[in-house]
Structure 1
Amino acid sequence: GHTDLVLSVAYSLDGQYVVSSSKDKTVRIWNSQTGVGEPLKGHTDGVRSAAYSPNGQYVVSSSYDQTVRIWNAQTGVQVEKPLNGHTSAVRSVVYSPDGRYVVTSGNLMIWNAQTGVQVGEPLKSHTFGVMSVAYSPDGPYVVSGSNDNTVRIWNAQTGVEVGKPIKGHTKGVISVAYSPDGQYVVSGSDDTTVRIWNAQTGVQVGETLKGHTWGVVSVA
């Protein structure tokens, strides 16, 4: 279906559908049983990331065109206007667990998913671009990974950084994720390693996971 590189894939929570984003500027929603997928068109450059809302009614996508777009997952129609405000490629996007907010990276921003309005100011502390973001399972926190080699945790309500930067990687952090219980954060880096951290203390748990021979672009 896609005519260029596929940059991200994600399941809907019920497992019936898969959303994919591509360098061909489209998002596609696929029936996981039949494989049929129609393109969602609107982005003017490659679509770096896409994700389902928790209730499965919407899909959010982020692009190298510096915009974020929300789509009706049933009709494929774009909901409201693009979310504008980024000054560089939007590399990662996820919904909050309650579906009320969307967090985006490039510039680290939180948005009201219903209105498309930015919530507060951009979250600033990273000294280079933010490559990946994730919400904690219970919603109060956001974790970010950056080309400044650090992982940072933020209060999603106040936008205040929690604790000190988590340091250990020797190159940019490309991917981050929370454990299901929210106790741990895992990060993948251009330094070819994966590291697990205590989300409360920022201390690395166990040994650095080594084996990849290239940057680690995705962790879960």
Structure 2
Amino acid sequence: MRAFRGHEGIVYSVAFSPDGGRALSGSRDKTLRLWDVATGREMRVFRGHKDWVQSVAFSPDGRAALSGSGDKTLRLWDVATGKTIRALAGHKNGVRSVAFSPDGRRAASGGWNGVIILWGAQ
């Protein structure tokens, strides 16, 4: 067992990278954190959401990540830099879940109001 410490609030979501070497977490502290699974070391902090991060997902190639937040947005991130590639707005309530399609070309998000939105991820 290994504990990953760094968030300053409830952790709502965790996802493994496709190769299993990294993990990404989303928290009430409005951040995502990238972790080295073998060492437990925090590799990067992703900042940009204005409310809790409810859901995270890696792209199939592991180079990008998605996050969904209570701020009603999704963010597409560059995993290597931790920078936002694009912020996507369209939900009228917080975003509860996010996912990439198997080919990485599309994304889906689910909101607190029962609506699912499909997005082009490229």
| Cα distance in 1, alignment partners of residues 12 and 78 from structure 2 | 21
What's the counterpart of residue 93 of structure 2?
171
CA RMSD, 1 decimal: 0.8
| Cα distance in 1, alignment partners of residues 111 and 16 from structure 2 | 23
AA partner of residue 177 (structure 1): A
| Cα distance in 1, alignment partners of residues 46 and 15 from structure 2 | 15
What's the counterpart of residue 34 of structure 2?
110
Tell me if 1:154 matches 2:77: yes
Tell me if 1:191 matches 2:85: no
State the shift of 1:191 in Å.
Answer: 2.0
Deviation string, structure 1 residues 136-159 (Cα, Å, up to 9, x no partner): 001100000000000000011110
What's the counterpart of residue 86 of structure 1?
7
Counterparts of 1:8-23 in structure 2, within 5 Å, are none
Q: How many residues align?
A: 119
State the shift of 1:192 in Å.
Answer: 1.6
Gaps spanning 5+ residues in structure 2: where? none
What's the counterpart of residue 97 of structure 1?
18
What's the counterpart of residue 128 of structure 1?
51
Normalising to structure 2: TM-score of the pair?
Answer: 0.95
| Cα distance in 2, alignment partners of residues 152 and 191 from structure 1 | 19
Normalising to structure 1: TM-score of the pair?
Answer: 0.53
More contact order relative to length (CA 8 Å, sep ≥ 6): 2
| Cα distance in 2, alignment partners of residues 98 and 158 from structure 1 | 18
| Cα distance in 2, alignment partners of residues 94 and 197 from structure 1 | 20
Structure that is richer in strand per residue: 2
Which one has a bigger Cα radius of gyration?
1
